[in-house]
Amino acid sequence: MKKIQPIILAFLLLLAANAYSQQAHFITEGKIEFEKKLNLHAQFSDDNFWGEEMKKTLPQFKVSYFDLQFTNNKTLYKPGKENPDNNRLWQEPAEDNIVFSDLNNHSSVSLKNIFEKSFLIQDSTRNIKWKITDEKRTIAGFECRRANAVIMDSIYIVAFYTDEIAISGGPESFSGLPGMILGVAIPHEHVTWFATKLYGIPVKETDLKIPTKGSKTTNAAMKENMKSSLKDWGKYADIYIKAALL
């Protein structure tokens, strides 16, 4: 029995060392670059002559970049580097959002520009009922697990998160998974957000500057306001409202 004890002790020490090593690799602060890609051609798929003409003049995708800073379970999502190719394209509603999220307090503050007016949306973080799957995918060098959900009553979304980044945040208003969301796809809205790179830099809470300007409102109030303003826009009203509220 005495001869076995050193072996058991060595095994336990190895397990402890592995556990410590895994914990040491958890990331709790830094900056993530996201690439947002919107399929412009898909927005005109139901149109006939006019839609086909628009497709001839527009690139298929509009690509934008955003940075997500995070520390102490707080995140700040804001526009990143510019893409000169977007200068010749019209501005989508709420395409340059700034979103601050306090995940401990389940609160968020968002600055959204819609039709040349700025809205400061103070609300709770979105409560998303995720269904985690066994599917995995590598994004920006991290192994991620897939999760599915439905938001805003009818919008199906797919997300990929990694538990190597120990914060349950993500781009825009997407959060609530056991790790950082590095990829989001909304198939029927033809838009995706995917991380391209993680910068392992120190981040102070003072770096996460909460937006303060704009007309104060909530998500529900802004939705009703847009429905009233765009009531004569037909199907495009629905497209704009969804884009603004994502």
> Is 86 part of any domain?
yes
- CATH (domain of 233): 2.50.20
pLDDT at 215 over 90: yes
The whole-number pLDDT of residue 12 equals 47
Per-residue pLDDT of 109-153, as tens digits, reads 999 998 889 999 999 999 999 999 999 999 999 999 999 999 999
Range of lowest pLDDT (73-77, 186-190, 223-227): 223-227
CA atoms lying within 13 Å on the CB side of residue 39 = 13
> Is 16 part of any domain?
no
> Is 4 part of any domain?
no
> Is 14 part of any domain?
no
> Is 10 part of any domain?
no
- In degrees to the nearest 10, what's the CA dihedral of 225, 226, 228, 233? 170
> Is 61 part of any domain?
yes
The whole-number pLDDT of residue 101 equals 98
Distance, in Å, from the CA atom of 112 to the CA atom of 63, rounded to the nearest integer, reads 18
Contact 149, 195 (CB under 8 A): no
> Is 77 part of any domain?
yes
> Is 19 part of any domain?
no
Count of domains observed in the chain: 1
Range of lowest pLDDT (19-33, 63-77, 118-132): 19-33
Distance, in Å, from the CA atom of 187 to the CA atom of 204, rounded to the nearest integer, reads 35
Please give the model's pTM, rounded to 2 decimal places.
0.86
Residue-range definition of the domain harbouring residue 101 = 29-245
